[in-house]
Amino acid sequence: MSDKIKVALVGVGNSACTLTQGISYYGEDDSRDGLWHKVVGGYRAKNIELVGAFDIDSKKIGLDLSDAIFSKPNVAEKYLDLKPLNVKVKKGILHDELPYHVKKSLDVDAGEPDDIVDVLKSSRAEVLVNLILSGLDRTSKAYAEIAIESKCCFINATPSPIAFDRAFVEKFKEANLVVAGDDLMSQFGGTAFHKGALDFMDSRGIKITRSYQLDVGGGIETLNTLDEDIKFMKREMKTRAISMELPYKFETVTGTTDYVDYMKNKRTSYYWIQGDGFLGSPIMVDIYLRTSDGPNAGNILLDVIRAVKVAKDKGDFGAPFEICGYGFKNTLKPVKLNDAYQNFALKYINSQNV
């Protein structure tokens, strides 16, 4: 097995900021607190090497990745001082119209697809991680095509249908590549917590009748959801992910409700769950959860990157069910949260041989 997993990032935003810091921090010492899985399929954090980065904001283009991740409009926390990574941010592509309120925050300077292919090939990137804003479907699909042309596996953290698209999955399979997605599910974020709470109540014999989840946050990704089309798209996708957690139908709604700039990369999620207990006695749960978006994505991204590399090494091409179910909300096969973790752990964590 190759010692390094060469990774390129698309979208140098808040998630890229914390992921980059995490790779450096745990690459130096993976016994430090906060790392969920030290080893995935034989690979550690130190085996991940960032070799490329792309963005459409001129304020980041040309900077070393170690500096670009702290450039505005990024608001993720700075946890450590990074040494130069010798990875210059290159121009990304944009095939969609940005929402007006997002466009005001960026100085857009997009490049050509051929340039990105050249960079990926020359850097010998093996995995391309798509971290661009939600709702840019044509751009995400173009990056997926670029990944195939560049012989890169593809991780789609956005809600755009890539791994959910059987035709796309077949393209990756024919190219002997792995695709994982869609719509990253954070380690302890809104969707994972909501699913876990419902599963626990159901396992204790409570019949769930209704639930809802409301989110308020800062950062450009939350700002992006002020666009009504994007808001309802994410609401529909998250609601579908929650609905599959129980073996019966119940009323549920989930989605981002508003943007508060001074919250920066932080998010507050509010949950209300109603169920029936013994003799139909009502049980109601009100919960607040406060988290930070970037760090919440870090462990999942580290795990998925390593698992994708393992799948590629083993010849498990296409969209491996165990990876997609573990790390993403929108999957071809519905799976409960705990089952998804057990499937992933059995294949990639409990057995550490590639």
> For the chain, what is the HEC assignment?
CCCCEEEEEECCCHHHHHHHHHHHHHHHCCCCCCCCCCCECCECHHHEEEEEEEECECCCCCCEHHHHCCCCCCCCCCCCCCCCCCCEEEECCCCCCCCHHHHCCCCECCCCHHHHHHHHHHHCCCEEEECCCCCCHHHHHHHHHHHHHCCCEEEECCCCCCCCCHHHHHHHHHCCCEEECCCECCCCCHHHHHHHHHHHHHHCCCEEEEEEEEEEECCHHHHHCCCHHHHHHHHHHHHHHHHCCCCCCCEEEEEEEEECHHHCCEEEEEEEEEEECHHHCEEEEEEEEEEEHHHHHHHHHHHHHHHHHHHHHHCCCECCHHHHHHHECCCCCCCCHHHHHHHHHHHHHCCCCC
d(CA 78, CA 100): 28
Return the CATH number at 221.
3.30.360.10
d(CA 302, CA 295): 11
- The residues facing 5 across adjacent strands are 48
Domain contains 208:
yes
Domain contains 73:
yes
Q: What is the pLDDT of residue 225?
A: 87
Using the 3D structure, point to which of 247, 271, 292 is the last residue of a domain.
292
Report the sign of the C-alpha dihedral through residues 140, 337, 302, 57, in that order.
positive
Using the 3D structure, point to which of 292, 309, 332 is the last residue of a domain.
292
From first to last of the 354 residues of the chain, give the pLDDT tens digit: 468 999 999 999 999 999 999 999 999 999 999 999 999 999 999 999 999 999 999 999 999 999 999 999 999 999 999 999 999 999 999 999 998 888 888 999 998 888 999 999 999 999 999 999 999 999 999 999 999 999 999 999 999 999 999 999 999 999 999 999 999 999 999 999 999 999 999 999 999 999 999 999 999 989 888 888 888 888 888 888 999 899 999 999 988 778 999 999 999 999 999 999 999 999 999 999 999 999 999 999 999 999 999 999 999 999 999 999 999 999 999 899 999 999 999 999 986 544
Full residue range of the structural domain in which residue 58 is found: 5-185+295-349
146 and 273 housed in the same domain: no
Using the 3D structure, point to which of 254, 273, 292 is the last residue of a domain.
292
**pTM for this structure?**
0.94
Return the CATH number at 120.
3.40.50.720
d(CA 110, CA 90): 9
Cβ distance 14 to 79 under 8 Å?
no
Domain contains 112:
yes
40 and 134 housed in the same domain: yes
218 and 177 housed in the same domain: no
Based on the structure, what is the number of domains in the chain? Answer: 2
Q: What is the pLDDT of residue 352?
A: 56
Burial class from Cβ neighbours inside 10 Å (0-12, 13-18, 19+) for residue 229 reads: exposed
Q: Which residue in 291, 288, 272, 299 sits closest to 218, CA to CA? A: 291
Q: What is the pLDDT of residue 2?
A: 61
Residue with token string 């705990």: 338
46 and 150 housed in the same domain: yes
Residue with token string 């179910």: 325
205 and 269 housed in the same domain: yes
Cβ distance 124 to 97 under 8 Å?
no
Cβ distance 327 to 183 under 8 Å?
no
Q: What is the pLDDT of residue 354?
A: 40
- The residues facing 274 across adjacent strands are 210, 284
Q: What is the pLDDT of residue 351?
A: 62
112 and 197 housed in the same domain: no
284 and 323 housed in the same domain: no
Task: For residue 187, give every residue at least 6 positions away whose Cβ sits within 8 Å of its Cβ, in sequence order, or none.
Answer: 36, 296, 297, 298, 299, 300
109 and 216 housed in the same domain: no
Domain contains 354:
no
